[in-house]
Amino acid sequence: MKKQGYAESTIKTRTKILKQLVKRGAILDDPESIKKIIAEQTTWNEGTKSFAVVAYSSYLNKEGKIWTPPRYRRKEKIPFIPTEKELDQLISSSGKKLSIYLQCCKETGSDPGELLHMEWIDVNKENSTVTINYPVKGHNPE
């Protein structure tokens, strides 16, 4: 997967899912075993099962094999969006460093992962702007 340009985090997560399947009794060379183990996971939601199917499909692709994967559809959920007052309460009740981090997330609208990679040279005090140079997957840097 590295040769195909997948991110290191994607590779690690897919490997972790495959290890979980094996730990739960699946046999990697037997697609029916994989289907059975995935279907038996009552604590997994449809999205997790779908991701397990993708992880196993990438494993089979590496092995040069094919299978008929089961179909799982992710259920769209309406995300919880806190009110401005709730955000302010959370920020004010946090510690010094965390409250600065949360306030920056709130005011810039950036993803927490984007702020983790921010450096001092990304802050322009004269224009009161912050530059996001390392957007997370799927985000536009502009």
pLDDT digits (tens, 9 = 90+) for 69-92: 999 988 888 989 999 999 999 999
Does residue 141 surpass a pLDDT of 70?
no
Q: Are 128 and 108 in contact (CB under 8 A)?
A: no
Please provide the DSSP assignment of 89-125 as one string. HHHHHS-HHHHHHHHHHHHH---HHHHHT--GGGEET
Q: What is the mean pLDDT of residues 91-99?
A: 95
* The pLDDT of residue 4: 84
> Across residues 31-56, what is the average pLDDT?
93
Domain residue ranges in the chain: 8-63, 84-130
pTM (global) more than 0.85: no
